[in-house]
Amino acid sequence: MLMSESCACNPSTKTTAGEGLFIQLYIEGDQLFDAMLSAIAQAQKQVWMETYIFADDEIGQRFAYALAERARAGVQVRLLVDAVGSLFQFYRRLASELEQSGVELRHFHRWNWREPLRYNRRNHRKLLVIDGREAFLGGFNIHRQSSQDYFGLARWRDTHASFRGELACQAGEIFNTFWQGEKQNLAIHDEFSINILVPNQSRSCRQRLACIYDDFLHNAKQQVCLTTPYFVPDHRTQKAFLSAAKRGVKVRLLVPHNPDIRLVRWAANAVYARLLDAGVEIYEYLPRMLHAKVAIVDEQWATLGTANLDYRSLFQNYELNLLSKDPDLCRRLQQQFEFDVTQASEVNATRWRQRRWVPRLAELLGWSVRRWL
């Protein structure tokens, strides 16, 4: 492989297996965007970026300017934008400006009548890698909805992380293999690693994240705390929720009260009754749209990244999550979850069973199209 196509990883920045790694968390888009733009401005060799939504708005234009400036300075800049996620948001004018500046731009899985089924498989990952030494991963898209400066108090609540060292180098390798066309790329596994990056699909398994969530629920001893914007679990995951709750594990689920896609809410509501009857606690986040994807188990294991707890993320889309047993990261994520719950309303099991026929009908409609949401 040519050096220009490999991760510019400096061995001196690597952490040894088992060594702790400080991971910076971001829950506000403006702080995250400032950090990402600062990292891009300091890039010397490579800027590799992939995102589901790249909007031609105030936020997208800031990123486009930063990427174009680095490309003109001779830095290799690669941008992978999902064709569906950015549909009607990433305009041809913006693409032309980037390409004229030297940015290597690709749209993932554009419509092709010869391969219509692949259009349903999206790249939902949000990853930025700078020189193989620093990486950003999480749920934030590049759009104004995540910015208080431009969207106000209604901005989306999300979670992102940044990290350096060996884990950032691994992120670069994962990006590069995907860019080269190897979509079933392999995560780098080390049983002694505190942190690993996990794509949901590899050559040996096309539902690795589903298996991880299943293991989380089956191995939990005390509590499981999950945050997800789109909760449409398959039957196996539902059984894992029920099994954990029946074993006495405290299972708490945090979802948005007002998701951006109403059908998703209806589909999620279709499984509430079964979970509530088993003792699962469900909380609906009230202040704004909740878009974070986080899980913490017994404050000993945690995952954050791009995958939702729905059919599309677990079985269709390309996703990437950070899996960690770093005590400090687990503690900080747990603290954030506890704070978010204070701003949520708990779904009452008794009142839920008494809901009228109209919402029940909506639930049937949402559940019937759950695989396409």
Catalytic residue among 107, 143, 160, 291: 291
Catalytic residue among 107, 143, 160, 293: 293
Distance (Å, whole) CA 41 – CA 199 = 28
Catalytic residue among 82, 131, 214, 310: 131
- CA distances from residue 342 to 41, 254, 285, 335 in whole angstroms, order as listed: 38, 11, 9, 11
Distance (Å, whole) CA 310 – CA 60 = 27
Catalytic residue among 30, 57, 260, 298: 298
235 included as an active-site residue:
no
Q: Are 164 and 15 in contact (CB under 8 A)?
A: no
131 included as an active-site residue:
yes
340 included as an active-site residue:
no
Count of other CB atoms within 10 angstroms of residue 205: 13
Tokens 């990486």, located at residue: 135
Distance (Å, whole) CA 136 – CA 212 = 22
Q: Are 324 and 302 in contact (CB under 8 A)?
A: yes
Catalytic residue among 56, 82, 107, 124: 124
The structure tokens listed for 206 are: 């096309």
215 included as an active-site residue:
no
44 Cβ neighbours under 8 A, 6+ residues apart:
75, 131
Catalytic residue among 56, 82, 107, 126: 126
298 included as an active-site residue:
yes
218 included as an active-site residue:
no
Is residue 132 exposed (0-12), middle (13-18) or buried (19+ Cβ within 10 Å)? Answer: buried
Distance (Å, whole) CA 373 – CA 370 = 5
List the catalytic residues.
124, 126, 131, 291, 293, 298
